Amino acid sequence: MMKSEFYNIAKALIYALEIKDPYTSGHSYRVFKIAKELGQMFDLNDDDQFNLEGGSLLHDIGKIGIKDDVLFKPSSLTFEEYTVMKTHVILGANIVSQIPNLKRCLEPILFHHERIDGKGYPHGAERDDIPLIAKITSIADAYDAMTTNRVYMPARMPEEGLEEIIRFSGTQFEPVVVEAFVAWWQKKYKEKDPILNADHTLSAKLEESLLIDTSKLH
Ligand SMILES: [Fe+2]
């Protein structure tokens, strides 16, 4: 499949997700952007870089299949609700597996909530069993989630987001990816890049994210 065809399909899927969940609009695109730039620091080959970009963009697509009362619950989830929420990684992999020849694109989707200490989900995979492109997506996702307002938690400052990523190095996150993230963050901080502080920059979040320009995705 041509890259441009894939991105058109991805854009349609993200559009569908954001119709359901405008609250996290922009999240998919920011995670994609962070993951893409981290991938470039690892000198991935073209296939890996593409699988990282596509998979990180679609990492939460399975949330389309999560019931609204679980997805939008403002307080903490019960054990049963959390079990439902966790299925979004499997649902997402199932959705994207309908597109032929994108097997490795599924890695960031299926593994982005795994932890290197084996305490993540869905499989409790450990360090060496988690693909690098999923480890990269996991950090991009966690950082953006922390620094954005969520129904269950207000946004944290970029510095706090960075500290949290460092705190979980070696347990949740792969240290070598944390190192790359710290270098990336410091560079963006110096450049005053708005990506570090998503909530303060995306004033018209919904419109902006629904009008993703595919040229940005290349
Ligand atoms: Fe997720």
Domain boundaries, the chain: 3-217
Ligand 1 centre distance from Cα of residue 215 (Å): 25
pLDDT interval class at 25 (50, 70, 90): low
Residue 155 has pLDDT above 70, yes or no: yes
CATH topology of domain 3-217: Hypothetical protein af1432 (1.10.3210)
pLDDT interval class at 24 (50, 70, 90): low
Buried b (16+ CB within 10 A) or exposed e, 138-152: bbbbbbbbbbbeeee
pLDDT digits (tens, 9 = 90+) for 37-71: 999 999 999 999 999 999 999 999 999 999 999 99
Within 6-72, strands assigned E span: none
Residue 202 has a pLDDT of: 45
Buried b (16+ CB within 10 A) or exposed e, 183-195: ebbeebeeeebeb
Ligand 1 centre distance from Cα of residue 168 (Å): 17
pTM for the model stands at 0.90
Q: Give the integer Cα–Cα distance in Å for 60 and 27.
A: 9
C-alpha of 33 from chain center:
9
Distances in Å between the Cα of 170 and the Cα atoms of 20, 143, 167, 177, 189 are: 35, 16, 9, 10, 24
pLDDT top residue among 80 and 22: 80
| Protein residues near ligand 1, an ion, with CB under 5 A | 60
* Residue 122 preceded by cis peptide, ω within 30: yes
Quickly count helices (H) and strands (E) in the chain: 12, 0
Residue 36 has a pLDDT of: 96
Ligand 1 centre distance from Cα of residue 180 (Å): 21
Q: Give the integer Cα–Cα distance in Å for 211 and 153.
A: 26
pLDDT interval class at 217 (50, 70, 90): very low
Q: Which two tokens stand for residue 95?
A: 């959705």
Ligand 1 centre distance from Cα of residue 121 (Å): 10
Residue 199 has a pLDDT of: 60
Ligand 1 centre distance from Cα of residue 89 (Å): 6
Q: Tell me which DSSP letter residue 150 carries.
A: B
Residue 152 has a pLDDT of: 74
Residue 218 has a pLDDT of: 43
Of 112-121, 157-166, 202-211, the poorest mean pLDDT is in 202-211
Residue 5 has pLDDT above 50, yes or no: yes
